[in-house]
Structure 1
Amino acid sequence: MLRGLYTAAGAMNALQRQQEILSNNLGNVRTPGFKATDGVVRSFPEMLLAQVSNPDNGKSRVQGEVGTLSMGVYLQETMPQFTAGSVTETSSPTDVYLRPAAGTAGVPMFAVEQEGETRYTTNGRFSIDEDRFLRSSDGGYILSSEGERIQLPSSEFQLAKDGTITSLGENVATLGAFQIDDLTTLEQVGNDWRVTGEAPAQAPVEFQQGFIEEANVNLDQTMADLMMTYRQFEANQKVVQAYDKSAERAIEIARVR
């Protein structure tokens, strides 16, 4: 009886984690460049049950196979989806979109200095701080193609398609864009990414000032998945409650006897 209880409880754990993932996707539907995450649910390996007898000689003997028993499911891993989001024209000079070159694989990202290390982001919504440094939405320093912080002589600047930043008539720096070909080397840190392998090379992109890539979250599908996950959670919760009532009745019968 307890096997069914453990199976339902394990499913509830997996579904609760799924709800957290979907809720995070839903909460970032307006975050520029956000990449939705999917949870991969797997079933535990099935167990083969057999009928065993123990004759007088003390040696167990298999009399026949009963069948297989599933031990439920678990959330194996989470996988970010790096499909491109829609592109919106904002006319804001601090909004930048990376348009990948035709026929290229991988994902182009901006480089950002955050907490003393270089990370990468697909969020092109920047800002300029009081010292005129170009900053990311999370407060990190946007880096040039040389890996240096970008400090502007003025709050007004122009960005060419090749990434050249011009302000007050002079070239200040070249905005960095880096190509992540092996997505398995990415480790998510907040809304940014850390590369665990070799440092990525320059990406063949076209910079577009005044445009932004939106989150790739499908709002309608995410809402539907969230409701379905919630109903599945409730169904497994009722199974656990039924097992709990059965165990309570069994204890009462045992006490009477």
Structure 2
Amino acid sequence: MGKLSYERHCAEITNQATLLVTALNGADLGIQVPSCPDWTLNQLLRHVGFAYRWADEMIRGRHPEVDFTRNLSLDVTAHVDEKASVLGPWIEEGAASLAAALQAVDPDEMIATLAGNPGPRLWARRMAQETVIHRWDAVNALGVQFEIDRDLAADNLTEWAHFALPFAFYRWPEETAVLVGPDHTVHLHATDADCELVLDLTAPRPAVREGHEKAAVAVRGPVAELMLAVYRRRPVEGLEVFGDRELLDQLLTSVRF
């Protein structure tokens, strides 16, 4: 349910990068990105490309753990007035190099680890899905239609639950503390894919179960729309919501990634 193979994740890094670059044809990279309001499209692309190179360096260098000091993707303010003809090939080169590095190692090798998870498997999935979300950011800014297949969207939603959700609890403990309480459970139910997730927020560390359960609040809709909702790229209006709407709103406010 909602989980793709390591090989598919490696392939999607380059596939999603190509789709992103294709959308840039003739684009003004100086426009603001509404879903990432601190960045222009130019800066969003630099963020993606630097993230590829950061993961690539850690995998090729066989770093035992994630080295956040080498991540250049978070401060991209210096990058302005660049052209798609330059950034497009740079994005695709970074994606291809990262995919090749990941394909050359054992998926479960304990390098570039984060929270005890094997780095190759974690970063293959993370970088594929990072590109999916930022491709949406780019095409939304450009007014271009976004398309994604259901399996990839289900994998994205599942990765958000298993990675982004606990990371938010670790990174922003004060903001996420409000989510913890008796019977605080959230059910995400895709109506067009085999993907149902229950987010158990009854303990200080969230737990995730796959399958159908009664929860304090349930959200139903197409899997791609659920994916965009949890990443705060679209409002929940238009999706079916049953139960504790306040808990759902608190979740979407507190968990950002």
The TM-score, its normalising length taken from structure 2, stands at 0.23
| Greater helix content | 2
| Greater strand content | 1
Name the larger-Rg structure. 1
